[in-house]
Structure 1
Amino acid sequence: MKNWLKNVGPGVLVSAAFIGPGTVTVCTLAGVTFQYALLWALLLSVIACVILQEMAARLGIIAQKGLSECIREEIKNPTLRVLAIILIFSAIVIGNAAYEAGNITGAVLGITAITTPLTLELGNFTLNLWSVIVGGIAFALLAIGNYKILERVFIGLVGLMSISFLITAFLTKPDFFQVLKGLFIPTTGSAGILTVIALVGTTVVPYNLFLHASLVGEKWKLPSDLKIARRELGIAIILGGLVSMAIVITAAVPNLDDVTSAADLALGLKPLFGEYATLFIAVGLLAAGITSSITAPLAAAYVVKGCLGWEKGLKSLKFKSVWAAILIMGVFFSSLQLKPVEIIQFAQIANGLLLPVIAIFLFWIVNRSSVMGEYRNTLRQNILGILIIGITIFLGAKSIYTVLEGF
């Protein structure tokens, strides 16, 4: 056990990052609307996450640099370099702003399940004060920089919520034949394509590819550490995927008609917690929301730092201005008069659409001999990588077509 704990690293953080308000909400919506039919999308997402995050981990250990730094250094043509940086910059800023709005809204969804809404009228605009308060807590924790103990508490609460969903998935006695059918037989109409994209986006989070490459380089320094990193990553992501599937299964059983609040999300946990289910899901969403509200802006700041080649990190004013901007945008979008569940779902769809862009850059870098040497992608890894990128591009294109068709 001591040896296992010693080797716990960034893989657990990657897994924890996608067990947040977005996962709980999107997986609940998938279970409510499609029952077990979209479990295959989660299975695909977990496989894609393992493949892409392994590439990011290998890059971090071998190159001892982050993904954005490698991209900036490897593109020699100044024009192409600027275009690539602008593209990554835009993808991460847009994606993380949407993701941050979902994180803050998830925390607010938890708070409002056990308290009353708190709003402020500003002319024609109604400000959700709970969004501002959650954003203020995240801002204070990031500004202080010493939030590790609090973050461990939050991750512990999220972990407890995850275990609860796993237990409840068995207590609800689902139809295992239908579960297996949903896992291995892909089916969805045009109505479900955006939910599929959201499920992919909540599992394979684009900014995690940047964050993971940076973090593994700090923990592991030698190529021989790759074996440990891969094992730790695989176990963590598979466990995270099982939790996501458990949430879909628990949501499919109660046969809900609609999900608009944390109380609706809590119905799936009633077999385990009874009348305390709403309180439990409220605390879980609050913890998951605040934890993610800290990590998302920080990840964006690391990406921008690598893209622009800044030497100084955490303490520099430029670095702080990036995470502050992401946080403020998240608070603003969270304060809009939209249904909380819709904001969270949109954030996951945005992530899913941006994923192919980031995955293509990662795929290119891990095939560069100048960066990876003998550890560049093998033929098998390239085939798997191309398949994953192809599927994400297809899903993204199909979802855009579905949206345009509705106009």
Structure 2
Amino acid sequence: MPERKRRFRTGPGTLVAAAFIGPGTVTACTLAGANFGFALIWALVFATISTVILQDMSARLGAGARLGLGEALLKSAPGSLGTAIAAGLILAALAIGNAAYESGNIVGGVLGIEAIAGEGARRALILTIALVAGAILLIGRYKPIERILVALVLLMSGAFLLAAILTRPDPLNLLSGLWPIIPENGLLTTIALIGTTIVPYNLFLHAAAARQRWNDDPASVTEARREAAVSIALGGVVSILILSAAAASLFARGIEVSSARDMALTIEPAFGPAARYLIGAGLLGAGLTSAVTAPMATAYALNELLPPKTTASQTRRFRIISISIVAIGAAIALSGVKAVSLILIAQAANGILLPVIAVFLLYVMNRRSLLGKMANGPMANFAGVIVVLIAALLGARGVLRAIETGLATL
């Protein structure tokens, strides 16, 4: 009898979608729709395709070669100096960068609660979001955490889908946004849309999670790659729904907002309280899922650097590292540092690290002696190089913009 086709199962690709649809993405999509209508949908399509290309490499690395990206970097580094540089890159990309991102994730979840219930005791809400994220991470095992994140992603996706339906975007206007143009004063928004979708730490998260989730037989590797492509594509659809809801509800009426919470409050008179609750729930889900996945990525990658490799020691370190990232993020959020400053730090870190880590990923994926048949072929290399070049150009522009803005605020 012919072998039955495997049903689709969620996995690490869903975690990647949960990670990149964070408060930064929700805010960027909201501002893009409010300020430029549907004109920048193409940027989200490009960013989603680019993310699929890079994350497919991570899926093959983890599921097929049974390696995390951090471990593969160390194995590929030439000599002790190369190993030290690789370890430093991992620490910079994750331990430092994700602590800054984590504060924004926690605050984003708080903004979602405030959109639903109104402003209140923000410090207490910050601690509540941090405690919830910490409680999930204390589980310490991949499968239960994945199930929780899948449920949160479904909640978030459903909320934004219903919000888009309520605002009734014009399908023809939506399709017109597929033509690649950058409207006047829209360059930085374009960079933001792409930069918040292609996230460096997701490359570490995906490889480490894929190694735990999938077997290394050919069927499982194929399933891992398909799951990654489908999940990330659906994540891109959610981003497009957010932009479309903002374009239909705000751009057409000339309403200016500065965040997704503002959109939730502004559109209530026209579309009813359900719109406010849906966008607030979506923003809360985006903040909470990212508040879990950023520490996860850090814990997985740093675990790959530290001996011993026993299951008990890795579980213990996973809990310690991930909870530490949550605690640092909560402390930054409680310190009263302006959100603008946190965004500038995140922009600069992402702009510098994304092309560098993508280059290292390409280098690792061409080590046939290490990866065997999971190594890149010519088409994967071509697509990866194009993504890296564009990421480098956008990263450089984002860093320059962050520096310019920082100097202007002095």
The TM-score with structure 2 as length reference comes to 0.85
Aligned to 1:323: 322
Q: Distance in 2 between matches of 1:149 and 1:115?
A: 32
Aligned to 1:196: 190
User: In structure 2, do the counterparts of structure 1 residues 313 and 68 end up closer, same or farther at CA, with 3 Å as the change threshold?
Assistant: farther
Q: Distance in 2 between matches of 1:314 and 1:348?
A: 36
Q: Distance in 2 between matches of 1:169 and 1:216?
A: 32
| 1:69 equivalenced with 2:63 (yes/no) | no
Match of 1:29 among 28, 31, 46: 31
Shift of 1:32: 1.3
2:264, 2:275 within 8 Å by CA — same for their partners in 1?
Answer: no
| 1:235 equivalenced with 2:230 (yes/no) | yes
Aligned to 2:82: 80
| 1:205 equivalenced with 2:199 (yes/no) | yes
Aligned to 1:274: 272
User: In structure 2, do the counterparts of structure 1 residues 5 and 98 end up closer, same or farther at CA, with 3 Å as the change threshold?
Assistant: farther
Aligned to 1:124: none
Instruction: Kindly provide the amino acid, as one letter, of the partner of residue 381 in structure 2.
Output: N
Aligned to 1:220: 215
Match of 1:160 among 132, 148, 155: 155
Shift of 1:337: 3.1
Instruction: Kindly provide the amino acid, as one letter, of the partner of residue 298 in structure 2.
Output: A
Aligned to 2:121: 118
Shift of 1:129: 3.2
2:106, 2:287 within 8 Å by CA — same for their partners in 1?
Answer: yes
Q: Distance in 1 between matches of 2:236 and 2:322?
A: 28
| 1:262 equivalenced with 2:264 (yes/no) | no
Shift of 1:395: 0.5
Shift of 1:376: 1.6
| 1:186 equivalenced with 2:181 (yes/no) | yes
Aligned to 1:108: 110
Aligned to 2:101: 99
Instruction: Kindly provide the amino acid, as one letter, of the partner of residue 16 in structure 1.
Output: A
Shift of 1:223: 3.0
Instruction: Kindly provide the amino acid, as one letter, of the partner of residue 162 in structure 1.
Output: S
Q: Distance in 1 between matches of 2:107 and 2:384?
A: 33
Which ranges of structure 2 fall in alignment gaps of 5 or more residues? none
Q: Distance in 1 between matches of 2:45 and 2:268?
A: 22
Q: Distance in 2 between matches of 1:314 and 1:296?
A: 22
Q: Distance in 2 between matches of 1:309 and 1:221?
A: 23
User: In structure 2, do the counterparts of structure 1 residues 290 and 77 end up closer, same or farther at CA, with 3 Å as the change threshold?
Assistant: same
Which whole-Å deviations, capped at 9, do the CAs of 1:360-397 have from their partners, x for residues lacking one?
11111010111222332111111110000000000111
Shift of 1:110: 1.9
Q: Distance in 1 between matches of 2:40 and 2:245?
A: 14
* 33-42 vs 59-68, greater mean Cα deviation: 33-42
Task: Give 3-state SS (helix, strand or coil) of 1:248's partner.
Answer: helix
User: In structure 2, do the counterparts of structure 1 residues 70 and 150 end up closer, same or farther at CA, with 3 Å as the change threshold?
Assistant: closer
Q: Distance in 2 between matches of 1:195 and 1:6?
A: 35
| 1:245 equivalenced with 2:244 (yes/no) | no
Aligned to 1:125: none
Aligned to 1:375: 374
1:139, 1:324 within 8 Å by CA — same for their partners in 2?
Answer: yes
Which whole-Å deviations, capped at 9, do the CAs of 1:302-339 have from their partners, x for residues lacking one?
11111345414565554433223311221122224356
Q: Distance in 1 between matches of 2:319 and 2:226?
A: 34
User: In structure 2, do the counterparts of structure 1 residues 104 and 153 end up closer, same or farther at CA, with 3 Å as the change threshold?
Assistant: same
User: In structure 2, do the counterparts of structure 1 residues 403 and 106 end up closer, same or farther at CA, with 3 Å as the change threshold?
Assistant: closer
User: In structure 2, do the counterparts of structure 1 residues 353 and 340 end up closer, same or farther at CA, with 3 Å as the change threshold?
Assistant: same
Q: Distance in 1 between matches of 2:318 and 2:220?
A: 30
Q: Structure 1 stretches (4+) deviating beyond 6 angstroms?
A: 146-151
User: In structure 2, do the counterparts of structure 1 residues 397 and 107 end up closer, same or farther at CA, with 3 Å as the change threshold?
Assistant: same
Q: Distance in 2 between matches of 1:88 and 1:62?
A: 22
* 28-37 vs 242-251, greater mean Cα deviation: 28-37
Give the total of aligned pairs.
Answer: 396
Which whole-Å deviations, capped at 9, do the CAs of 1:204-254 have from their partners, x for residues lacking one?
222221121122223121134332222222221111111111110110122
Between the aligned residues of both structures, percent identity stands at 42
2:51, 2:197 within 8 Å by CA — same for their partners in 1?
Answer: yes
1:106, 1:289 within 8 Å by CA — same for their partners in 2?
Answer: yes
2:71, 2:304 within 8 Å by CA — same for their partners in 1?
Answer: yes
* 247-256 vs 279-288, greater mean Cα deviation: 279-288
* 21-30 vs 100-109, greater mean Cα deviation: 21-30
* 323-332 vs 4-13, greater mean Cα deviation: 4-13
2:347, 2:398 within 8 Å by CA — same for their partners in 1?
Answer: no
Task: Give 3-state SS (helix, strand or coil) of 1:253's partner.
Answer: helix
Which ranges of structure 1 fall in alignment gaps of 5 or more residues? 120-127
Match of 2:126 among 124, 131, 139: 131
Aligned to 2:285: 287
Instruction: Kindly provide the amino acid, as one letter, of the partner of residue 224 in structure 2.
Output: A
Two-structure CA RMSD over aligned residues (Å) = 3.0
